[in-house]
Amino acid sequence: MSELATPVSKKRPEFRNINAFTDLTTYRMTPAAWVSILHRVSGAIMFLLLPFIIWMFDTSISSEISFAKFKAAFNIGMLGLPGFIWKLLALALIWAYLHHFIAGLRHLYMDVTHAQTNEFGKTTALITLGLSILLTLVLGAKLFGLY
Amino acid sequence: MSVNYGSKRLVVGAHYGLRDWLSQRITAALMALFTILLLAQVIFTKGPIGYDQWAGIFSAQWMKVLTLTVILALLYHVWVGMRDIWMDYVTSRVWLRLSLQVATIVWLVACAGWAIQVLWRL
């Protein structure tokens, strides 16, 4: 190991050639990577919208009058914003909860069974992404009164 | 002399690695069970759900106690998650990370207090 013995410390190479516009947009993430980052994003969304969640809990449960206010916020509007904006916000929460929930179950299952093959990771990641989006669409259609 | 090797070795000073990993899963499992239980009550309610049916679900004492437990589990779960996010992305300025962590705690405790107040005055 003659390199280690040399007293002259060589400067470590730095690679700073990542361009945010040309490289990040063409970087292909695996399904498991998407599930992972979206798990974090969905958690952060729910963290930021906590007051809205508790507001919904409060108004929907406190009294008949507040329950009517709760319904009016989504059907008519609130704070100068039309009802569909609040419905979209609720839909964002629905997706975030579904994704976080299913991705979390995937985590728990992997921890318990020590499932750690590439195929299993890829299949369950695709199931997580697909199922959360599918259920969001189903519940979103209900929320906007399509059925 | 205390044993500090094998299964008793000290990996990091604070030991929060395993504790948080485990608590994150236990709180998650509790919240998942609560979700399924609440969904089941909504689904098996006969007829359209108005205020009486919805508030009725949370008026039972066992449901209040369970919901309180879930609120506390959520509080800890979100703290661990958000702290991980700050630790991963806010690395260059310690004062900024500490401020964000303190703000997270204040935000979470305030939200938990509000939720508990709503629950117990029902």
What ipTM was estimated for this complex? 0.80
| CA–CA gap between residue A59 and residue A78 (Å, rounded) | 13
Amino acid identity at B19: R
Q: Is the CB of A105 less than 8 angstroms away from the CB of B32? A: yes
pLDDT tens profile A63-77: 888 888 888 888 887
- Which chain B residues in 51-70 lie under 8 Å from chain A, judged by CB atoms? 51, 54-55, 58
| CA–CA gap between residue A52 and residue A90 (Å, rounded) | 9
CATH label, A31-143, candidates 3.40.50.10190, 3.40.50.720, 1.10.10.10, 1.20.1300.10: 1.20.1300.10
Cβ atoms of residues B115 and A54 within 8 Å: yes
User: Per the structure block, which two tokens stand in for A63?
Assistant: 């009294």
Does the pLDDT of residue A4 top 80, yes or no? no
The answer, for B48 touching chain A at a CB cutoff of 8 Å, is: no
> Residue A6's pLDDT band (boundaries 50, 70, 90)?
low
Does the pLDDT of residue A41 top 90, yes or no? yes
Closest CA in chain B for residue A104: B28
Cα distances (angstroms) measured from residue B23 to each of A4, B10, B40, B72: 44, 19, 26, 12
pLDDT tens profile B58-116: 888 899 999 999 999 999 999 999 998 998 888 888 899 999 999 999 999 999 999 99
The answer, for B90 touching chain A at a CB cutoff of 8 Å, is: no
Size of interface A-B (CB pairs under 8 A): 54
- Chain B residue numbers with beta carbons less than 8 Å from the beta carbon of A106 are none
> Residue A8's pLDDT band (boundaries 50, 70, 90)?
low
- The 3-class secondary structure across B85-115, one letter per residue, is HHHHHCCCCHHHHHHHHHHHHHHHHHHHHHH
The answer, for B35 touching chain A at a CB cutoff of 8 Å, is: yes
Residue A71, pLDDT score: 86
Closest CA in chain A for residue B31: A101
What domains lie within chain B, and their CATH numbers? 18-120 (1.20.1300.10)
Residue B53, pLDDT score: 86
pLDDT tens profile B1-28: 567 677 776 665 556 677 888 889 999 9
Does the pLDDT of residue A2 top 60, yes or no? no
Q: Is the CB of A54 less than 8 angstroms away from the CB of B111? A: yes
Residue A112, pLDDT score: 87
| Boundaries of every domain in chain A | 31-143
Closest CA in chain B for residue A51: B111
* Average pLDDT in chain A: 84
pLDDT tens profile A73-130: 888 878 878 878 898 999 999 999 999 999 999 988 888 888 778 888 888 888 889 9
| CA–CA gap between residue A44 and residue A21 (Å, rounded) | 24
